[in-house]
Chains A and B, each alone.
Chain A
Amino acid sequence: MSGVVQGGWEFVAGAYIVTAAILSAYATSVFLRYRTEQRRAAAEAEREARK
């Protein structure tokens, strides 16, 4: 490589922000789906218990 790459903070920021965004978005989606499934399972268990 010949020269020095000048500046580039916007790319660094971009990379870190994208990383944070994607990981938190995915983590949130997993947590939300987990909560939905838990609630449904709890509702089903209640229904079974009442029968």
Chain B
Amino acid sequence: MEQDSRRAREPEGRLKDLLAALRKDLLLQWRGRAQVIAIFAFGAAALLLFSFAIGPDSAALREHAAGFLWLGLLLASTLALAESFEREMEEQALEGLLLLPASTRGLYYGKAIANWAHLALLGVALVPVMVVLYDAGTLRLISLVGVILLGTAGLSAPGTLYAAMTSQTRARQTLLPLLLFPLVVPVLLAAVKATSLLILGDPMGQLRPWTTLLAAFAVIHWSIGGLLFGRVVED
């Protein structure tokens, strides 16, 4: 019965639910900002370890800096995404959320946007780490932020969907990366390529196809995520 009232909500109702969910998640992120900082520290540590794996060859480090940035971001994202649902698992808050006459679609998008914000912030915060460790900076900062926004959007949508599932299973820490990583291969490829062009130079103007791919990926996964989330959290 709650399902029907949920589905019957008009667009304004859904938007309100989305904003309410978004606000709640952002507030919780702010309150738990120690976690946010810890996840950033994890990402920075990963970037450091990658440089040890390559060795002090500054040319090689610069050439692969984009790859390291996105790998570090991807690894850290599993922590951020898992954590976004762990809050719900405590005290069975997720069931409480679902009992409210709120649309699951609004819930999904609210959470996905909050995760997107978190991941984008993480990505931007890791840029200076990349600049310092790999001597890999760019003057095209706006474009770089744009690529980070598009790439993290692509991570957030499927990530939120899968985090909702895996947070309720036994092997949650292994299952989320196991399910997510193969799925976001296009994001990794395109984001690394785009970031690399920004860092190393783009004489032939090849940036546009990669950002288009990122945008297309995001659009597709935000759409199907919204459609399928309801089934994932239903009882």
Contact between chain A and chain B defined by CB under 8 Å = no
Q: Please give the residue numbers on chain A whose beta carbons come within 8 Å of chain B beta carbons, in ascending order.
A: none
Q: Please give the residue numbers on chain B whose beta carbons come within 8 Å of chain A beta carbons, in ascending order.
A: none
